[in-house]
Amino acid sequence: MKAKFPVILALIYAIFIVFSLTTGYQPGKEIGSNFLSFTLSMLKILPGAFILIGLFQVWVSKEKVEKHLGEDSSFLSFIWVMLLAGTTVGGLYVAFPVAWALYEKGAKIQVVLAYIGFAAVCRIPMIIFEASFMGVKFTLVRLLVSIPLVVISSILFGRYLKASKWQMKSPD
């Protein structure tokens, strides 16, 4: 029954969209349009991102990741992941698979959590866009507040997860 539930939900959703298109129900048509738009934007980004993640897994050694981002790494590891997250395209669509790849290569959980946080607040295109509309002062204040909060929260949450003996499950 557990495996059938997502299929049943998808079927109900598809029936709703077809019903909306045939009867002219505007909210349903907009939901279908948004879903199609979202799916197409993901299909433009994800294949290239997954190829790059695959190359990362092959080309970057586990020892190098453990040295710079692992359990014995310094505070500099947070700067490394902030730079990596700043250059990541595709937003959180790509950040979660990259975070998984970092974790598999031996990055400590605090650094992985920081990477996800930085991917949400420190992407270079987003910063440029924000500065052009909100102003440089606003952007600098937001970054000066966001960056320490990401680091502090990832350290605290990482310590909590370690203390509770939490383990990340494989997506298999």
In this predicted model, what pLDDT tens digit does every residue of 60-110 receive, in sequence order? Answer: 899 999 999 999 999 999 999 999 999 888 778 888 989 999 999 999 999
Query: 17, 31 in Cβ contact below 8 A?
Result: yes
| 155 & 98 share domain | yes
168 pLDDT more than 60: yes
The verdict on residue 55 lying in a domain is: no
| 40 & 71 share domain | no
pLDDT at 172: 61
* Coil vs helix vs strand at 172: coil
The verdict on residue 53 lying in a domain is: no
pLDDT at 159: 94
Domain that holds residue 165: 60-172
Please state, in angstroms and rounded to a whole number, the distance separating the CA atoms of residues 153 and 117.
9
26 pLDDT more than 90: yes
Query: 154, 119 in Cβ contact below 8 A?
Result: no
| pLDDT greater at residue 57 or residue 168 | 57
| 40 & 65 share domain | no
Structural domain total, the chain: 2
The verdict on residue 137 lying in a domain is: yes
Least confident of 16-25, 38-47, 60-69: 38-47
Identify the sign of the CA torsion 107, 52, 90, 10: negative
The verdict on residue 172 lying in a domain is: yes
What pLDDT band is residue 1 in, cutting at 50, 70 and 90? low
| 40 & 102 share domain | no
- The residue-averaged pLDDT of 13-32 equals 93
The verdict on residue 54 lying in a domain is: no
Please state, in angstroms and rounded to a whole number, the distance separating the CA atoms of residues 56 and 68.
15
What pLDDT band is residue 52 in, cutting at 50, 70 and 90? confident
| 39 & 78 share domain | no
The verdict on residue 113 lying in a domain is: yes
| 37 & 103 share domain | no
The verdict on residue 158 lying in a domain is: yes
21 pLDDT more than 70: yes
pLDDT at 42: 84
In this predicted model, what pLDDT tens digit does every residue of 111-152 receive, in sequence order? Answer: 999 999 999 999 998 899 999 999 999 999 999 999 999 999
pLDDT at 171: 65
